[in-house]
Amino acid sequence: MEVTRRDLLKLLAIAGGLGLGPRDLEAAEAPARLLEFAPLGNVTLLHMTDPHAALRPVFYREPDALLGVGAERGQPPYLTGEAALRAYGLRRGTPEAYAYTHLDFSQLAARYGRMGGYAHLATLVKRIRGERRGRTLLLDGGDTIQGSATALWTRGADMVRAMNELGVEVFTPHWEFIYGIDRVRELFGDRERGGLFAGDFVAHNVTELGFGDPIFRPYTIRAVGGVRVGVIGQAFPYTPVSHPRRFVPDLTFGIRDDHVQGLVNELRDGRKAEVVVLLSHNGIAVDLKLAARVSGLDVILGGHTHDALVEPIRVGRTLVVNSGSHGKFLSRLDLDVRGGRIADSRYRLIPVLSKALPEDSPMARLIHDIRAPHEARLSERLAVSESLLYRRGNFNGPFDEVILDALLGRADAQVAFSPGFRWGVTILPGQEISLEDVYSHTALTYANTWVREMSGGEIHRIMEDVADNLFHPDPYYRQGGDMVRLGGLTYVIDPERPMGQRITDVRVGGRPLDPARRYKATGWASLGEADGPPVWDVVAEHLRRVKRVRIDPRARVKVVSLARQRGPG
């Protein structure tokens, strides 16, 4: 089923007859405006990434704090709020402002509704495929089969079924590996055989440790609109250090831009492909550096950092695209390819406003079948939120504080650690918090909690190490994620400082952190072994006990910058 402008005009007429106001009419008309696209050329690349197993529509607030360092400051994607609206010429209060920024989020969420959902994505994909028969290619950048209870309980099988129904044609991985390499092979196959996934699984940079033998196919070539499109897969380079090593014990990853260059040359020199695409899970900063180092790439379709690029970033002749997360967006890039070169291009980051886009019936039935055995458990009402709860941003978000409060309370600890994950849905004020919502922030295969004593010096070193991972001036030394979330303490951070000097004035319970003192600490998602209860049980029990959640603003982190204080020179 597809929505047309004629259908929407009918809806508008009906809405007017019901006495709905201008804002209601704008909410109904928004998809018509946002979906309008003047087709160009002979190739349409459709890209989604980082859905984190969000089968159904969600609320997901974009960050208000997204700090670039050095030359990145003030440049996309490090623009939020009003700065983002100015950069892209958008008005506050519009569906675009709701989709692309955090501004007025609660009010606009009530007006425009949830976003994403595979049944609504399927409607949009089918519409574009119908308009561009034989000219489309749908690519998924990974982090797809992790992030929900059903994905955890089926070990990713539910999402692969949804990917097949959606018609994903090319895929590259990251969080997929938390189920272990054997499960990845079952679901996606390897270089020699296929798996449950019906498309092409590509990852040039995953090799056997010590031998260098490739595990998966490095690229695929697809005929799109009479054009040969080569797609190189770039799995997340730091998988063995971002997750427990036991999941990929005999594999090596890495950025390997020299190998990317060799594959580009192979595709171009042998005239195997007229357009060369890197389907990447590097993160935007790494993609931009790689684009400057590798020649011959036409397009990088990137993911991992959840950046919603309203416009592509051009590096030389390479267009760099990132498509947000949680199914909120579908990127459409039309290419006019002539004589083996891109003569022109046209792009839109399409917000998937599920309130107005109808569901695709076959996908809706599949999602119902996947969820039906678990519906009663998923829908358990734990508490009601009086605050806007979200996670996304460089530093602690309110849902992070919920997790930290739960950890601190259970362990009677002084300090709590929670990873700086970017995934997890947003909860509106007045909304019930269900067990499913808790899993959307905690669904890991290594979610056990831990409690132990740590010295003040050890706590400070961990904070500095994570800050360097986030703010290192060389993007190739960043491993993604945001700053570790910390409960029980406050601190000052200067992202412009070198390693070991960014974190100052750390206070535990209002008192300065003592490097020699031992503190009782707790946390979850340890890369080592942990034997405490899984964090979803800890958080769920906390919510059942408090019944109502109110997270007032907490002055936990103060950001300063000597570079800005000093000014130019």
Q: Does 93 lie in the same domain as 13?
A: no
Q: Name the residue among 116, 112, 123, 125 with its Cα closest to residue 28.
A: 112
CATH of the domain at 480: 3.90.780.10
Q: Name the residue among 384, 399, 370, 383 with its Cα closest to residue 149.
A: 370
CATH of the domain at 244: 3.60.21.10
In angstroms, the Cα distances linking 232 to 24, 63, 350 are 44, 30, 24
Q: Does 484 lie in the same domain as 470?
A: yes
Q: Does 70 lie in the same domain as 46?
A: no
Number of structural domains the chain divides into: 4
Q: Does 91 lie in the same domain as 127?
A: no
Summarised one tens digit per residue, pLDDT across range 330-362 is 999 999 999 989 999 999 999 999 988 999 999
3-class SS string, 22-62: HHHHHHHHHHHHHHCCCCCCCEEEEEECCCCCCCCCECCCC
Parent domain of 341: 39-56+115-368
Token match 């272990």: residue?
Answer: 180
Alpha carbons within 13 angstroms on the beta-carbon side of residue 171 total 30
What's the CA gap between 455 and 396, in Å, rounded?
A: 22
Q: Does 485 lie in the same domain as 342?
A: no
Task: Locate the DSSP E strands across 251-410.
Answer: 251-252, 275-280, 299-302, 313-315, 318-322, 329-338, 341-351, 381-385
Residue 536: inside a domain: yes
Determine the pLDDT at residue 17: 45
Q: Which of 346, 368, 390 is the last residue of a domain?
A: 368
Determine the pLDDT at residue 562: 55
Q: Does 194 lie in the same domain as 167?
A: yes
Task: Locate the DSSP E strands across 39-182.
Answer: 43-48, 136-140, 170-171
* 46 phi/psi in degrees, rounded to 5: -105, 125
Residue 414: inside a domain: yes
Determine the pLDDT at residue 490: 97
Residue 446: inside a domain: yes
Q: Does 177 lie in the same domain as 94?
A: no
Q: Does 442 lie in the same domain as 302?
A: no
Q: Does 66 lie in the same domain as 125?
A: no
Summarised one tens digit per residue, pLDDT across range 280-335 is 999 999 999 999 999 999 999 999 999 999 999 999 999 999 999 999 999 999 99
Residue 220: inside a domain: yes
Total-model pTM: 0.93
Residue 20: inside a domain: yes
Q: Does 389 lie in the same domain as 267?
A: no
Q: Does 65 lie in the same domain as 161?
A: no
Residue 63: inside a domain: yes
Residue 373: inside a domain: no
The SS3 of residue 487 is strand
- Name the β-bridge partners of 353: 115
Q: Which of 368, 390, 414 is the last residue of a domain?
A: 368
Q: Which of 368, 398, 433 is the last residue of a domain?
A: 368
Alpha carbons within 13 angstroms on the beta-carbon side of residue 288 total 17
Residue 92: inside a domain: yes
Can you list the residues of the chain whose pLDDT is less than 70? 1-31, 562-569
Q: Does 161 lie in the same domain as 95?
A: no
